[in-house]
Amino acid sequence: MGLILEFEGKELFRKYKLNLSKSILVTSAEEAKEASSKLGLPVVVKAQVLSGGRGKRGLIKLAKTAEEVIQHSIDILSMQSDGRQVTHLLIEEGADIAEEYFISMVTDSYTLETLVLFSIEGGVDIENLAEERPEMIDKIRIPFNGDHQPFIFMSTLAKRGLTGNKKIQIARIMSTMVTMMQKEDITLCEINPLVVTKNEEVIVLDARIIVDANATFRHPERAEYLSEELRNSENEKDAKAQDLAYVDLGGEIGMLSVGAGLGMATADLIAVFGGSPRNFLDVGGGAGADKVEHALRIMLKDAGLKSILINAFGGITRLDEVATGILQARDKFDKIKSGEIPLVCRLMGTNYVEGIKILEDAGIKAYKDMEPAIEEAVNAAKGN
Ligand code: GDP
Ligand code: MN
């Protein structure tokens, strides 16, 4: 999932000329104080983290004095979110809020329509509102490439009592959001709250945007986003550098597959046998011994690992090569060598007979069928 941070989302909104408060990204309390003197008090100190509901978690605080800016910044920078320390704050001009609205748009990946949700009861927990008073949320569907001029949204806004300049401005924002979603490969775009200030200014106060990760090639700058950095664990970054696909899953069995489809099937079968995969690691077709060794090195850095299952189906990948990589890894990595982390292999396909022989001669259990290998890896993870 490609959720991006608030300040990254706001940069996109700025590109499309939506009205935002001035803000400065900082990483320390001193920088926060400096930023607040540039912006003028009061300011809002906002943690740049990937999960929402920051207000409720004390990750957003209003500061009316320079002392408060420093104190709130120190407090928030000492907090954690998503299992890691908060490192970045957005210091933003404080808005004098009169009303809070909610706009959310998602792309329906099947019909390619944009589903637009709007409510005059923004700011609050929208999931609760959807459950308790769904009639307070308006829904509009825009066909892909369909007309989404501002006037399309006017009647909905009018029905909710919005008039005049306010209605026109909000309709424009909605129209721009649809354009932006299509041009920027965005699958979810949410503003909660969109506020109207006491002097009737409409301001985008928050940004929650999910970009389509498969479209990064069209937006190469996104690979450098701070959100990308926060999203990837150390292991995931390491794997990427070695051109391996790696995802943390949180179970107990380290799973290495040759072929992503096989990896998915293996994860399902692990569950059938009563276990759970610790990670998803795919070395891809044509992998040589060194790549297999790198994969095992990355996997072994994970402290929660209980056993390792290698499931390899060799099409273009030669399984004697895979077996050689496994041996290289065993000889280098103590946790495998000492038997602390049991290792079970299954090889089938190109040169599998040679591969199994290489492993068995070295004292490593290797199967040609999938089920017994998976069953053994599940049992080994449980200490049996
Ligand atoms: P979220 O909790 O992660 O969705 O973060 P938001 O950016 O939506 O902020 C949460 C709440 O903090 C908003 O609904 C506002 O009520 C409040 N807030 C955010 N910025 C300002 C501001 O500039 N002025 C005031 N008075 N309140 C703000
Ligand atoms: Mn919000």
pLDDT digits (tens, 9 = 90+) for 153-188: 999 999 999 999 999 999 999 999 999 999 999 999
pLDDT digits (tens, 9 = 90+) for 67-102: 999 999 999 999 998 778 999 999 999 999 999 999
User: What angle, 0 to 180 degrees and rounded to 10, lies between the N-to-C axes of helices 66-77 and 29-39?
Assistant: 140
Query: Using CA positions, which residue lies closest to atom 4 of ligand 1?
Result: 53
Query: Using CA positions, which residue lies closest to atom 15 of ligand 1?
Result: 123
Residues 263 and 175 in one domain: no
Residue with tokens 């079968």: 269
Tell me the percentage of the chain whose pLDDT exceeds 70.
100
Nearest bound ligand to CA 23?
1
Residues 116 and 183 in one domain: yes
**Could you give the C-alpha distances from 107 to 144, 172, 208, in angstroms and in order?**
9, 19, 14
Residues 129 and 194 in one domain: yes
**Total-model pTM:** 0.75
Residues 264 and 181 in one domain: no
Residues 267 and 368 in one domain: yes
CA of 270 to the centre of ligand 1 (A): 44
Give the contacts of 10 (CB within 8 A, at least 6 positions apart).
Answer: 20, 23, 204, 207
Average pLDDT over residues 244-265: 89
Number of folded domains that form the chain = 3
Residues 112 and 161 in one domain: yes
Last residue of a domain, one of 44, 73, 94: 94
Residues 150 and 58 in one domain: no
Tell me the percentage of the chain whose pLDDT exceeds 90.
79
CA of 21 to the centre of ligand 2 (A): 15
Ion ligand 2, residues whose Cβ is below 5 A away: 192, 206
Residues 43 and 134 in one domain: no
Last residue of a domain, one of 50, 71, 94: 94
Give the domain range for residue 283. 232-381
Average pLDDT over residues 315-326: 92
Q: Where residue 299 sits, what CATH number does that domain have?
A: 3.40.50.261
User: What is the rounded distance in angstroms from the CA atom of residue 286 to the CA atom of residue 7?
Assistant: 41
Q: Which residues line ligand 1 (CB under 6 A)?
A: 44, 52-55, 60, 62, 92, 94-95, 97, 100, 123, 192-193, 205-206
User: What is the rounded distance in angstroms from the CA atom of residue 159 to the CA atom of residue 197?
Assistant: 21
Residue with tokens 């799973």: 255
Alpha helix locations (H) across the chain? 6-15, 29-39, 66-77, 126-132, 151-159, 164-184, 226-231, 234-241, 260-272, 289-300, 319-332, 334-337, 352-361, 370-381
Residues 165 and 307 in one domain: no
- pLDDT tops 90 at residue 233: no
Residues 170 and 83 in one domain: no
